[in-house]
Amino acid sequence: MPISEISKEAVESAYQRLTGEAESGGYHLNPDVAFTKDLIRGLLANEARYGYWACPCRLASGTKDDDLDIICPCDYRDPDLTEHGSCYCALYVSGPISRGEREAQAIPERRPPASERKKMKAKGSQGHFEGGETSLPYPVWRCRVCGYLCAREEPPEQCPICKAKKERFERFM
């Protein structure tokens, strides 16, 4: 679906939902509402195009399995927030930026190149943690987006902290 066909109502509804989820999870959307809604329009267009919220600032492959790390919120959001005060697109920003005490700036791309991602995938890791054998009664699952850990048979349907979906969890131990 072309980006121009995304309705204002759909953007507004997603904006309200994301704002609520971000604030309840300790995150902040960019206070420039027009800019933020443009990014959300891009996310909705990508959902219509690919079936998932591929990052609006990156080139998606169209194969979900290869794009898991850039489904919004991407695996790189939190380290970028910590290091630079915003995610790569500046949809999510730090407290000082959200309060207007600092301005968001262009930041370097943290996503590894495709060749490196392929090697990581072959090793069974997206590059954050290597799994290991354990004698714990339940496997431990880690949310690759925010680092939330839980011990249970299966990862939760949705991360209770950052709202990332089940597929974004990796087996940690």
| By the rule CB under 6 A, 55 interacts with ligand SF4 | yes
| By the rule CB under 6 A, 93 interacts with ligand SF4 | no
Dihedral angle of Cα 151, 156, 160, 163, to the nearest 10 degrees: 140
Task: Say if residues 143 and 159 touch (Cβ distance below 8 Å).
Answer: yes
Among 6, 22, 29, 89, binds ligand SF4 (CB under 6 A): 89
Among 11, 18, 68, 87, binds ligand SF4 (CB under 6 A): 87
Supply the Cα-derived Rg of the chain in whole angstroms: 17
Tell me the sheet residues that pair with 54.
71
Write the CB contacts of 154 (distance below 8 Å, at least 6 apart in sequence). Answer: 141, 166
- Quick one: which of 53, 55, 109 has its CA closest to 84? 109
| By the rule CB under 6 A, 88 interacts with ligand SF4 | yes
Report the nearest approach of ligand SF4 to the CB of residue 47 (Å).
Answer: 12
| By the rule CB under 6 A, 52 interacts with ligand SF4 | no
| By the rule CB under 6 A, 70 interacts with ligand SF4 | yes
| By the rule CB under 6 A, 72 interacts with ligand SF4 | yes
- Interaction site with ligand SF4 (CB under 6 A): 39, 55, 57, 70, 72-74, 77, 87-89, 91-92
